[in-house]
Amino acid sequence: KMRKNLRGNIMSLFSRKKKLIVSGCSYTDDYATTQNLKSFPLWPELLAEKLDMECINVGKIAFGNKAIYSTLIDQVVSQKNVGLAISMWSEFQRVSFYMGEGNLPKGIDEKMLWSCFHPDRDYLEGEWHDQFYDDAEKNPAKKDYVYKVSKVIRENGLGGMKGGTYDSIRMMYSFQTICESLDIPHLQVQGCIPIMSKTGNRGQKELCHYILDSCYFDKINKKTFLGWPIMPQISGTNIDNHLDLIDPDRTALRISPEDVHPNEEAQEIISEILYDQYNKVYS
């Protein structure tokens, strides 16, 4: 009985902690284990420990910004005693489809309610696999629904950078406005660079133009959005930029030179960056 009462007291104390609610993509989720690597603490749990908050991490690998926004706002609105909400945004051209209506495509986990992918990348990857087959019809990558949907999106001009940028910034401003209306402390940050890195300077120049052209550009709060307007060419920054300033060769803070996902040390650095920003804004 004493043990039961003690456990109840501990749970009661824990439940009184404020909640840290976060969402993001693979920079926020346990990416390492998907690569058969040892799991390590992620920035949300590290930050929660620094802030003495309960961590609610709804981020998932490959999440697009619509999925990030939706999962985060659902928690912000429904949870009580929220101490801080953080959105770490992903690539602007990733698409997000809610899959919780039944009739899920083959290969989709029924517990994963969102299917997110990058149409350009997944279409080109499907095409690249043709070289391994004497008949393109035998290419299994082209039978996957992701390839098929990506092909339709590309052929009909539905996945452009301009639309993806405008949509993302609308969600950024909406997240900011909802948190302000509910009087909930919040931060935003761009995680990975928001455009496919292989597109080069031309693609980044266009992206910067679209950011500057957004009607929400001057409405984003630079105190709560770390690094706004997110691209160094227009005096902004993102998590990739932060890590590259410390580790320009991408050898010390990434999973590997070929895999630029943040490693264990980088996750600690990300938590420190966000902790410092939280203290600047809310202490």
Which tens digit of pLDDT belongs to each residue from 177-225? 999 999 999 999 999 999 975 545 668 999 999 999 999 999 999 999 9
The rounded distance, in Å, linking the Cα atoms of 242 and 265 is: 13
Mean pLDDT estimate for the chain: 91
Yes or no: say if 266 and 40 are a contact pair by the CB < 8 Å rule.
Answer: no
Query: Considering the entire predicted model, what is its pTM?
Result: 0.91
pLDDT digit string (tens) for 232-250?
Answer: 999 999 999 999 999 999 9
Given this model, what pLDDT does residue 136 score? 85
The rounded distance, in Å, linking the Cα atoms of 139 and 156 is: 23
Residues shown for the chain:
283
Res 61 pLDDT > 80: yes
How many C-beta atoms lie closer than 10 Å to residue 12's C-beta?
9
Percent of the chain with pLDDT over 90: 83
Res 117 pLDDT > 70: yes
Residue that wins the pLDDT comparison between 95 and 8? 95
pLDDT digit string (tens) for 167-178?
Answer: 999 999 999 999
- Residue 22: which H helix or E strand, with range? strand 19-23
Res 84 pLDDT > 60: yes
